[in-house]
Amino acid sequence: MAITVQELVQREVHYCVSSLVHTLAQGYGAPHLNRDLETLAEQAFELSSPIDDWEEAAREAGYSEHVDGFINGGKPCWKSDKLTPVYCATAQDACEANDIEPYQWEVYEHWIVSDWLADKLIAKGEKVDKDFGGMTVWARTTTGQAIYMDNVMERITADLNGKPAS
């Protein structure tokens, strides 16, 4: 039976903890008496930091994702007809070889999600901390719209339903 994006979000996204993460991130680098609090502040800072997007930067520079059975053991690699090296194993390798900085996505919100959804989000390139004070927290890079409208949620739902994302 197919599931809707709204059903997926209702079932797997639990609470907004943006204020908690923001407050803790402000304590990053401050001296603390409690090591656990220091660790949590560091995790909050990391969750609040922009996300590097090497793939978009590589595409803009002229690389494209490419699958060839003879190159990289049939695994996807990044290819360019204009830049050297011509083939790179990852978008990050391609960018670093050509001194290209990654694009950065700002993190706007933080949500407690299920471990199952966290794994799906990580597989789609999203930032998730699976042990933030015992919670699984997703760093959401969109805001101002319902979560079920996020492209990543549509892609996860399409994968579940065995359909290509629209």
pLDDT digits (tens, 9 = 90+) for 46-87: 999 999 999 999 999 999 888 765 666 677 888 888 877 778
Q: What span, in angstroms and rounded, lies between the C-alpha atoms of 135 and 118?
A: 11
Q: What pLDDT does 84 receive? A: 74
Residue 154, pLDDT > 80, answer: yes
Q: What span, in angstroms and rounded, lies between the C-alpha atoms of 149 and 157?
A: 11
Q: Is 122 helix (H, G, I), strand (E, B) or coil?
A: helix
Phi-psi label, residue 14: left if phi above 0, alpha if psi -120 to 50, beta otherwise:
alpha
Q: What pLDDT does 71 receive? A: 62
Residue 102, pLDDT > 60, answer: yes
Q: How many other CB atoms are found less than 10 A from the CB of residue 47?
A: 22
Residue 110, pLDDT > 70, answer: yes
